[in-house]
Chain A
Amino acid sequence: GENVEQHPSTLSVQEGDSAVIKCTYSDSASNYFPWYKQELGKRPQLIIDIRSNVGEKKDQRIAVTLNKTAKHFSLHITETQPEDSAVYFCAASQAGGGNKLTFGTGTQLKVEL
């Protein structure tokens, strides 16, 4: 089955700096890669996703890049703010959107003032 590895497990940045979280996946058949954000005590929510036919996608301060050859995808957050502090999960799916996901182990991002 699919295996998703995520690094780092914790990340601390200064407000205004950029943050990068990296994930690798094992199954070349995977074709959908979402990122979820989970604030303390709350449920995970989708923040951005990318399909395998696209190399990069941006939404305001967040972007995701995908390298299919290397089976690697990353989340980039620019101009970090305290409200970006949360746990971020990457995931991969072989069956397209809305279906079974394999999640990474999560990255605790802390944005310090």
Chain B
Amino acid sequence: DVKVTQSSRYLVKRTGEKVFLECVQDMDHENMFWYRQDPGLGLRLIYFSYDVKMKEKGDIPEGYSVSREKKERFSLILESASTNQTSMYLCASSAPDRTPYEQYFGPGTRLTVT
């Protein structure tokens, strides 16, 4: 059973703080993804990674960076948190060569920036 975990379910940070969100998967998946979910906007891709130390920008990378030092761990970094980054953040992982090609999501981190 695939397990994707995220470091926090709820997080409250102040404007300007550096924020780290961590995601760990235990299924040896090559691909990992960070999304943010906002009402009416669906799931928007921030960054993704196909391999260790590899990253690619998604649709909304501004204000974010990522790190993947180990295959099982993918971190999202907010260098200087702003109120417009208040959102639900979802991590996901997948194996591109294994059906049913599902992206397995973590439980999400609800981040509030005040």
Q: Give residues in A with beta carbon < 8 Å to B.
A: 1, 6, 9, 32, 34, 42-46, 49, 89, 95-106
| Residue among B45, B48, B58, B107 making CB contact with A43, cutoff 8 Å | B107
What are 22 pairs between A and B in contact, CB < 8 Å? A9-B40, A34-B102, A44-B90, A45-B102, A46-B102, A95-B96, A97-B96, A98-B97, A98-B101, A99-B96, A100-B33, A100-B45, A100-B56, A100-B58, A101-B45, A102-B45, A102-B59, A103-B45, A104-B42, A105-B40, A105-B41, A106-B40
Known: A43-B105, A43-B108, A46-B103. A98 touches B44 (CB 8 A): no
Total interface residues on B, using CB and 8 Å?
A: 29
Known: A1-B59, A99-B94, A100-B48. A6 touches B105 (CB 8 A): no
A103 to B52, CA, bound (A): 25
A98 to B27, CA, bound (A): 14
Q: Is the CB of A45 within 8 A of B96?
A: no
Query: Would you give the 0/1 interface string for B80-114, flagging 1 where the beta carbon is closer than 8 Å to chain A?
Result: 00000000001000111111111101111000000
Knowing that A43-B107, A102-B59 are A-B contacts, what are 14 other residue pairs whose CB atoms are under 8 Å apart, sorted by A's residue number?
A: A42-B107, A43-B90, A43-B105, A45-B102, A89-B42, A89-B43, A97-B94, A98-B98, A98-B103, A101-B45, A101-B103, A103-B35, A105-B41, A106-B40
A95 to B103, CA, bound (A): 14
Question: How distant is A43 from chain B, measured CB to nearest CB, in Å?
Answer: 4
B101 proximity list for chain A (CB < 8 A): 32, 34, 49, 96-98
Q: Is B31 an interface residue (CB 8 A)?
A: yes
| Residue among A44, A96, A103 making CB contact with B96, cutoff 8 Å | A96
Question: How distant is B91 from chain A, measured CB to nearest CB, in Å?
Answer: 10
Q: Residue of A at shortest CB range from B45?
A: A100
B44 proximity list for chain A (CB < 8 A): 103
A99 to B59, CA, bound (A): 14
Q: Residue of A at shortest CB range from B50?
A: A99
